[in-house]
């Protein structure tokens, strides 16, 4: 099976459409089941001492469907890798927007159950997370608008075609890592929860996945040196990798610092993209962004 055919089988449009339907149905079913568990817990018909923290607020039920949607959006991020660096970075910020929203639901549930002066710190964190969401969402929309309007002709250069095929093979490999990480993370989290040590943390799965995403980005960056010779594009791609590294550090950093790092990563990526567009608009004969990006 060739790399391209493997890509179509694993990350092609048909597979994507099928997984999207499954994800939506699973999100609806998971949400309803979680609401039912919360309702039973309210009437003391459902009592699992080590897991009551997942069912003592109806806001906790929002965590389940968003987790499933996030899993699908990560798949979409992997699919975007062969297209261009800018498109994949834009999808990355779409994933982070949803991840921050999911954290906000969790923190709002904690505020609902808390009382006293401790609530003030939780509300301040939620406020900063709301700002982080707006910045991340705006950045994702900016990348989407730029990549949709910056259409280009298909490049028939043999080296570029080979580079795109290499990125498709890398995306297939990352998809395999994604499945293994998802199984490992879910199993580890389930066992920890049964032992009373489970937590609804964004570090579950996403910390490890972004580590492998950074590795794939660096590989793409290094291989792209064969096809990109001008400094602005090299600096742009390096800046995008730096924004991904900042996100990875933010995922592993709780509280206000993590939210601040998310904002910093979005501002960095948007600034790099804006500067690269300004450079491309100069009438100096520089090539526009292509599939090697």
Question: At residue 46, what are phi and psi to the nearest 5 degrees?
Answer: -135, 105
133-144 burial, b at 16+ Cβ within 10 Å, e below that, comes to: bebbbebbebbb
Domain coordinates of the chain in residue numbers? 3-281
The per-residue pLDDT for 189 is 83
211: number of CA atoms within 13 Å, CB side?
Answer: 9
The per-residue pLDDT for 212 is 95
Per-residue pLDDT of the chain (293 residues; tens, 9 = 90+): 544 578 888 999 999 999 999 999 999 999 999 888 888 877 776 666 656 567 777 888 888 999 999 999 999 999 999 988 899 999 999 999 999 999 998 888 878 766 555 566 788 899 999 999 999 999 999 999 998 876 554 555 677 788 888 899 999 999 999 999 999 998 888 888 777 666 778 888 999 999 999 999 999 988 888 777 778 888 888 999 999 999 999 999 988 999 999 999 999 999 999 998 887 776 544 444 444 44
Q: In whole angstroms, how far apart are CA 138 and each of 34, 66, 73, 266?
A: 31, 20, 17, 9
Report the alpha-carbon distance of residue 244 to residue 199 in Å, rounded: 25
Report the alpha-carbon distance of residue 150 to residue 162 in Å, rounded: 22
């Amino acid at each position: 099976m060739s790399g391209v055919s493997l890509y179509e089988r694993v990350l092609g449009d048909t597979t994507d459409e099928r997984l999207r339907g499954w994800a939506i149905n699973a999100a609806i079913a998971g949400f309803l089941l979680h609401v039912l568990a919360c309702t039973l817990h309210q009437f003391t018909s459902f009592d699992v001492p080590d897991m009551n923290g997942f069912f003592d607020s109806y806001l906790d039920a929002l965590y389940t469907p968003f987790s499933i949607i996030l899993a699908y959006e990560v798949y979409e991020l992997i699919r975007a890798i062969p297209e261009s660096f800018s498109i994949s970075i834009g999808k990355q910020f779409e994933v982070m927007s949803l991840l921050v929203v999911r954290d906000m639901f969790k923190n709002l549930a904690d505020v609902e159950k808390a009382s006293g002066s401790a609530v003030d710190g939780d509300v301040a964190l939620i406020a900063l997370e709301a700002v982080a969401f707006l910045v991340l969402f705006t950045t994702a929309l900016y990348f989407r608008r730029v990549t949709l309007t910056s259409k280009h002709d298909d490049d028939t250069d043999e080296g570029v075609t080979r580079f795109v095929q290499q990125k498709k093979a890398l995306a297939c490999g990352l998809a395999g890592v994604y499945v293994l990480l998802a199984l490992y993370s879910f199993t580890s989290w389930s066992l920890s929860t049964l032992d009373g040590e489970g937590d609804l943390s964004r570090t579950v799965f996403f910390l490890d996945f972004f580590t492998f995403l950074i590795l794939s980005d660096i590989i793409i960056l290094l291989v792209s040196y064969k096809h990109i010779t001008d400094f602005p594009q090299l600096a742009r791609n390096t800046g995008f990798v730096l924004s991904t590294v900042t996100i990875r550090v933010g995922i592993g950093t709780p509280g206000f610092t993590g939210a601040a790092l998310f904002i910093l990563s979005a501002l960095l990526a948007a600034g790099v993209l804006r500067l690269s567009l300004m450079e491309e608009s100069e009438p100096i004969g520089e090539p526009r962004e292509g599939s090697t990006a």
